[in-house]
A = this chain, B = another copy of it.
Amino acid sequence: MKAYTDLSMDELLALKNKLEAEYEDIKGKGLALDMSRGKPSKEQLDLAEGMLNIVKGSGDTDTLDGLDCRNYGGPIGIPEARQLMGDIAGVSAEHVIVHGNASLNIMFDTVARSFTHGVLGNTPWAKLDKVKFLCPVPGYDRHFGITEYFGVEMINVPMTEDGPDMDQVEKLVAEDESVKGIWCVPKYSNPQGYTYSDETVRRLADLKPAAVDFRIFWDNAYCVHHLYEEEENQSQILEILSECEKAGNPDMVYEFISTSKVSFAGAGISAVISSKANLEQIKLHMNYQTIGHDKLNQLRHVRFFKDMDGIKAHMMKHAKSVRPKFEAVEQVLKESLEGLNIGSWTCPKGGYFISFDAMEGCAKAIVAKAKEAGLVMTGAGATFPYGKDPKDSNIRIAPTLPTQEELALAAQIFVLSVKLVSIEKLLQLNHMNQG
């Protein structure tokens, strides 16, 4: 197929007429499709059905060391849940505090605590004139939302297939004491599905920040979320905590994980993983904040998954449900857009998203066009701090929630929207060149 960028005005106009007819046709169906958020499908949620009844009755609520999960106590999590979450992250249980159903909540509280009480005895961020965070882009909107809410100045750092541009990160961190953190989704990143290379992880662990209270916010949300069973098709990542230790920066990272996309999105368990010193501060804070998180739900999780093998086997069931959806979207993109020179996209081997880059200045219009035809996408710009994509180019595709049938329609609407908006753009550009 000929690239749109090589078409004449007349060819573009003719194509536009044809595609507009197709678009009106599909719009007439009055569809209501949702590819906006990384939500698991019902089929995926059903996989953990056995967890609902696994704690059977009153005689069945004790941990291995005899703590009754129904009562108060055990604020840092039951030992077997700390073990399981540690296994998932590749660290020992002593580095783990298990929390409630949302790792986002731990991240928020970590930022909030740094503002009100400082990091390990350093000045509370609320008392500083300026606090900055590095934000690899495109990235996760809820990360950026937290730092925006606290008035943090966010600095874009471009992502590569190996992770954030480390030359920039090293420079920014070393020269500016107000840079206090970096948001990372290191494995199957949101939205591109990239996994940080060993070199990237080591360079991060080896950072020489100007700020002693600089922290890496390591949101390992998709650490076990492979789409393929064969090991060569699974991304691996270095364990950051031990890398930081080796580099002489033992306290530089907070890692966050959860089972939100393993068990239940709304009723999983989460954990923060860090050094002894950082965990001591978190424990002190929790001592005032809560009487402890829901231990019955922790018990359900360890009873159901048992161990890391159980987690791995379960994730392969998810993969079986999710992989065809990713592949279906990728196939439509390939068949419909390859060679047209109007967009590029990632083909991740794990995680929850496909990242699409349209021609500059087209993302917002594409999302609007799709919406008009009944397909809700993640808002354009959402993958950037302040919701501002400087190129108005990136669109996040979340293929998990729709059924296969819905997905086929959704992908069709999406590529039509991309084509129509791109043609519009090219016509404008041609017009300007002629003007």
Asked if B289 contacts A71 (CB within 8 A), the reply is no
A297 to chain B, nearest CB (A): 7
Which B residues are in CB contact (< 8 Å) with A290?
102, 104-105, 108
A68-B45, A116-B116 given; A100·B288 CB < 8 A: no
Asked if B68 contacts A42 (CB within 8 A), the reply is yes
Interface residue? A19 (CB, 8 A): no
Interface residue? A69 (CB, 8 A): yes
Interface residue? A356 (CB, 8 A): no
Asked if A57 contacts B49 (CB within 8 A), the reply is yes
Which B residues are in CB contact (< 8 Å) with A265?
70-72, 291
A210 to chain B, nearest CB (A): 24
**Of A37, A39, A117, A266, most B-chain CB atoms within 10 Å:** A266
Q: How many Å lie between the Cα of A72 and that of B104 in the bound state?
A: 13
Q: Flag A120-151 by CB within 8 Å of B: 1 or 0 each.
A: 00001011000000000000001001100110
Interface residue? A325 (CB, 8 A): no
Which B residues are in CB contact (< 8 Å) with A52?
53, 55-58, 60-61, 296
Which B residue sits closest to A49, measured CB to CB? Answer: B58
- Of the residues B42, B53, B108, B287, contact of A56 by C-beta under 8 Å: B53
Which B residues are in CB contact (< 8 Å) with A239?
none
Which B residue sits closest to A67, measured CB to CB? Answer: B266
Asked if A291 contacts B56 (CB within 8 A), the reply is no
- Of the residues B45, B124, B295, contact of A71 by C-beta under 8 Å: B45
Which B residues are in CB contact (< 8 Å) with A56?
52-53
Interface residue? A321 (CB, 8 A): no
Interface residue? A318 (CB, 8 A): no
Interface residue? A178 (CB, 8 A): no
A10 to chain B, nearest CB (A): 48
A72-B265, A73-B266, A266-B294 given; A58·B37 CB < 8 A: no
A107 to chain B, nearest CB (A): 9
Asked if A293 contacts B101 (CB within 8 A), the reply is yes
Q: Flag A274-294 by CB within 8 Å of B: 1 or 0 each.
A: 000000000001011111111
Interface residue? A40 (CB, 8 A): yes
Q: Flag A8-51 by CB within 8 Å of B: 1 or 0 each.
A: 00000000000000000000000000000101101001101100
Which residues of A does B touch, CB under 8 Å? 37, 39-40, 42, 45-46, 48-49, 52-53, 55-58, 60-61, 68-74, 100-102, 104-105, 108-109, 112, 115-117, 124, 126-127, 142, 145-146, 149-150, 260, 264-267, 285, 287-297
A and B contact pairs by CB, cutoff 8 A, 21 listed = A45-B70, A46-B58, A52-B56, A70-B264, A71-B264, A71-B265, A71-B266, A101-B293, A102-B291, A102-B292, A104-B290, A104-B291, A108-B289, A108-B290, A117-B149, A142-B288, A264-B296, A265-B291, A266-B292, A266-B296, A267-B296
Q: Report the 7 A-B pairs with minimum CB-CB distance, sorted nearest first.
A: A267-B296, A70-B264, A108-B289, A149-B288, A45-B70, A46-B58, A126-B126
